[in-house]
Amino acid sequence: MLGKSVVLIMKVLKDRVNRLWCYRDLLKHLVMKDLKLKYRRSVLGYLWSVLNPLLIMIVISIVFSSMFKRSIENYPLYLFTGQMLFNYMNQSTHTALSAINANGALIKKAYVPKYIFVFAKITSGMVDLVFSLGALIIVMVFTGAGFSFTNLLFPVVLVQLYVFCLGLGLFLAQANVFFRDVTYIYNAVTTAWMYLTPIFYPLESLPDQVRWFIEHLNPMYFYVGQFRDIIYYQQLPSSGLILAGCISALVMLAIGIHTFVKRQHRFILYI
Amino acid sequence: MEKKGIMVDVDHVTIRFNLANMKVDNFKEYCIRLLKKELMFQEFLAVKDVSFKVGRGEAWGIIGNNGSGKSTILKAISGIIKPYRGKVTVNGSIAPLIELGAGFDGNLTARENIFLNGCILGHSEKYMKEHFDEIVDFAELWDFLDSPIKNFSSGMKARLGFSVATSIRPDLLIVDEILSVGDIKFKKKCQDRIAEMRENGTTLLFVSHSMAEVQKLCTHAVWLDKGVMRMCGLADEVCGAYLEENGT
C-alpha cells in the first residue's frame, strides 16, 4: 500500500520534471527576454547591473558610515554583502508576484505551464545578481578586504536563496491572482523586512528581544549572515545558520508549490 | 470514412465560469461578502454536458451564435481551461490558433519573437532554428526581421503568428476565427496551408461564422447553442439545420 503510493508519487514527480525539461528553452528565452529588455536602448547596457548597486551602496555608505564607524570596520563591504542579497530577494519576488497577472493574455490563449513565468522572473533576478558579483569584487579590491578560498563558497548561499525566493514567488503569484491587494501588502511587508534585517546596521545594536526574533525567525538573516561569513569575515558559516537557511528554503518552496499547484486551474477564471 | 482511432475525445464536458460582476479580488470586498454570506460564487455554465469524438484526420467545424461556448470548448481542448466536470482527451500534438501571436512581446524584434513564440508552443530552440527560414519565408517578413514587433501592423503580426504556429505539422490544428485578418492574398495562403496540412493527415477543429467556409473545409460539424449541443453530425446537415433555424 505504502509502496504503491510512493511509486505513484515518483511517477507524478517524474512527469513534472519531464514536462519542465520540455519547456527549458521557453524558460531560457523568457529569462533572456527579461535581461535584454531591461537594458535595451541604454548606452551602458549590462554594465548597469554592476554600476547600479555600486552607486546605491556609495550613497548609503556616505549617509550611514559615520553612524556605525566604531562598530563596523570596512562599512562599504558590510553594507554591500547585505544589500546585494536583499535587493535580489526584493526585486525578484516583486516581479514574480505580478508574473501571472502580467502574462494573463497569454495564459488565456495558449497552454503553458504557469509556474514557468514565476520561475523565469526569479531566475533572471539571479542572473542579475551574478553580474553584480562583479561589483562585489570591485568593492573588495577598493576597500582592501583581500580574498580567500572561503569566498568561493558563495554558491552555497545563492542556491539556498534562489530556492527560497522561488517558493515565496510562487506563493505570492498565486495569491495575487485572487487578491490584488497582495501587491500593496507585500510592499509594506518588504519595507519592514528590510529594516528587520541587519543590512546597514550591526545586529548587536538591536535590543535583545528583537535580536532573538531576527536571529531565529528572519530567513533573510540566515542568508545574509552566511554570505557575510563567507565574504566579509572570510570564515565558514556556522552549521546552525546553514541548516536554518536550507530548512527555510525548502519549507518556503513546499508552501509555494503546494498553494500554486492547488489553485493554478482556477487562475484562468480570475485573470 | 476510414477509422484510424480517436484524436479528440470530449466526454460530458461542463465548463463553469465565475461571473465577472461577482468577482471578488480584494480583501475588503471578500470580508464584506463573507459577513453578508454572499460569497457563494454565482456560477455560469459556458458549456453544458457536451460530448463528441473527433476521429484522426477528420475536420470538424464548430458553429453557433455568439456566446454559445465555441471558443470555450476549444480552450478546454487546448488545455487552457480545465473542465469543471467531464474530461477531454487529446492524443497527439496540438497547434492552437486561438489568437495569432498570443505571447508576442512588442518590445522584442520579430526574430526574437519567433523563438519565444515557438517555445511557448512547446518546441525546442533547435527545432525553431531548423524551421526559421521557412517561417520567415511564409510570413514574407525578411525585411523587418530585426525591428521591434510593436511597429508592425496587425496584418503583419497575424502573418508571423500563423506562420510560427503552423510551422510544426501538428496532429491537431485548432483554428478560431483567425482567418478574418490579413489581406485576400494571405488568407488564400493560409487556406492553402491548412489544406496541405489536412492532406498530410492533420485533424482540424475550426470555429467560424461563415457556413460556406465550414462546409468547404470540414467533414463534420457540431452546433452549440447557449452551451448546449444542439446537433452533431455531417457538416452539410448541421450547417443546413443551423441556417434554416437562423433564417438566412
Which pLDDT does position B31 carry in this prediction? Answer: 74
pLDDT of residue A93: 96
Instruction: Output the pLDDT for position B201.
Output: 85
Residue reference for cell 482556477: A266
The predicted structure's pLDDT at residue B2 = 42
C-alpha cell at A150: 572561503
pLDDT in tens, chain A (271 residues): 677 788 888 888 787 787 777 788 889 989 998 888 888 878 888 888 889 999 999 998 888 888 887 778 888 999 999 999 999 999 999 999 999 998 888 888 888 889 999 999 999 999 999 999 999 999 999 998 888 999 999 999 999 999 999 999 999 999 999 888 899 999 999 999 999 999 988 888 889 989 999 999 999 999 999 999 999 999 999 999 999 999 999 999 999 999 999 998 888 888 7
CB B38 within 8 A of CB B76: no
Which residue in B25, B28, B79 is closest to A111 by CB distance?
B79
Which residues from B are below 8 Å from A184, CB to CB? none
Q: Which of A26, A114, A267 to mutate to test the interface with B (most CBs of B within 10 A)?
A: A26
Give the chain B residue nearest A265 (alpha carbons). Answer: B82
Q: Say how far apart CA B149 and CA A258 lie, in whole Å.
A: 37
Q: At what angle do helices B125-139 and B154-165 cross, to 10 degrees?
A: 130
Q: Which residues of chain B have pLDDT under 70?
A: 1-4, 18-25, 33-42, 178-182, 248
Which residues of chain A does B98 touch, with a Cβ-Cβ cutoff of 8 Å?
109-110
Instruction: Name every chain B residue with its beta carbon within 8 A of the beta carbon of A30.
Output: 116
Q: How far is B201 from B204, CA to CA, in rounded Å? A: 9
pLDDT at B20: 52
CA distances from B8 to A28, A40, B90, B112, B243 (A): 32, 44, 5, 33, 26
Closest CA to A96 of A40, A171, A26: A171
- Could you tell me the sign of the dihedral formed by the alpha carbons of A186, A188, A194, A197, in that order? negative
Distance from chain centroid for Cα B226: 19
Could you say which DSSP state residue A213 is in?
H
Amino acid A54: pLDDT: 92
Cβ–Cβ below 8 Å for B98 and A110: yes
In sequence order, what are the beta bridge partners of B6? B55
Nearest-CA distance B2 → chain A (Å): 31
Report the alpha-carbon distance of residue B33 to residue B27 in Å, rounded. Answer: 10
pTM: 0.86
Quick check: A25 contacting B, CB < 8 Å? yes
What are the chain B neighbours of A107 within 8 Å (beta carbons)?
80
Handedness of CA A95, A100, A101, A103 (dihedral sign): positive
Q: What secondary structure, in 3-state letters, does B165-233 show?
A: HCCCCCCEEEEECCCCCCCHHHHHHHHHHHHHHHHCCCEEEEECCCHHHHHHHCCEEEEEECCEEEEEE
Q: Which residues of A touch B34 (CB under 8 A)?
A: none
Residue B23 Cα, gap to closest chain A Cα (Å): 8
ipTM of predicted assembly, 2 dp: 0.79
- Cross-chain CB nearest to A110 (options B82, B103, B115): B103
Cβ separation A40–B96 shorter than 8 A: no
> Which residues does chain B have within 8 Å of residue A104's beta carbon, measured at their own beta carbons?
none
